[in-house]
Amino acid sequence: MPGSGIYPNAISVPFMAPSPAFDPSYPFRGVLHTTQSTDYNVSTTSYYGGTNAPHFTVVRKSSGVKVYQHFSINNGSRALKNKDGGVQTNRASAIQIEIAWRSENIAKLHPDIIQSLHDLINWISAAKGISKSAPPFFPEDQAVGSGATSRMSFSTWKNFNGWCGHQHVPENLHWDPGPLDIGKIF
């Protein structure tokens, strides 16, 4: 049910850390990440050894693809870097999905994960009015670092409504999810 912000096909794993409120001056957008691992150890207190979790983790287990939800999509999550004095990142109405996969192997993303991401993104897009559009996704040599080809300006980020990767978010250095073919997911 979209009103609750809880995806009906998700396994609820509420993360025990504060969930920041969204800044209403930003349109909703989706941000895709990769975990740099193909597994996920379910926890409510540790996310890959850290304390900052996204809204969702999508992972392929022996029993099939699992979608774990850590925060309602009605509140922010904490998987992006946010520097003082810049733009909002986590609070910029950014719905965040971590894919349990490696950026360098994103072209080999399993079809079952692609289908699960398709379903999840359709649900989020309908619930939050996110456009099914995206900038190009780049490989490491064009996406790592603050001055990367992929990185959005503050102004572009502030007005963005669509789906992007961690590699596009200002104030961040990561290049995940790599050269993803977002069209396959849409």
Q: What is the pLDDT of residues 2-50, one digit of tens each?
A: 588 999 999 999 999 888 899 999 999 999 999 999 999 999 999 999 9
Q: How far apart, in whole angstroms, are the C-alpha atoms of residue 92 and residue 88?
A: 5
Q: Is 18 helix (H, G, I), strand (E, B) or coil?
A: coil
Q: Is 30 helix (H, G, I), strand (E, B) or coil?
A: strand
Q: What is the pLDDT of residues 112-168, one digit of tens each?
A: 999 999 999 999 999 999 999 999 999 999 999 999 999 999 999 999 999 999 999
User: What are the residue ranges spanned by the domains of the chain?
Assistant: 2-185
Q: What is the pLDDT of residues 92-127, one digit of tens each?
A: 999 999 999 999 999 999 999 999 999 999 999 999
Q: How far apart, in whole angstroms, are the C-alpha atoms of residue 180 and residue 103?
A: 8
Whether the pTM exceeds 0.85: the reply is yes
Contact 21, 153 (CB under 8 A): no
Superfamily of domain 2-185: Peptidoglycan recognition protein-like (3.40.80.10)
pLDDT on residue 1: 45
Strands 64-69 and 163-165: unpaired
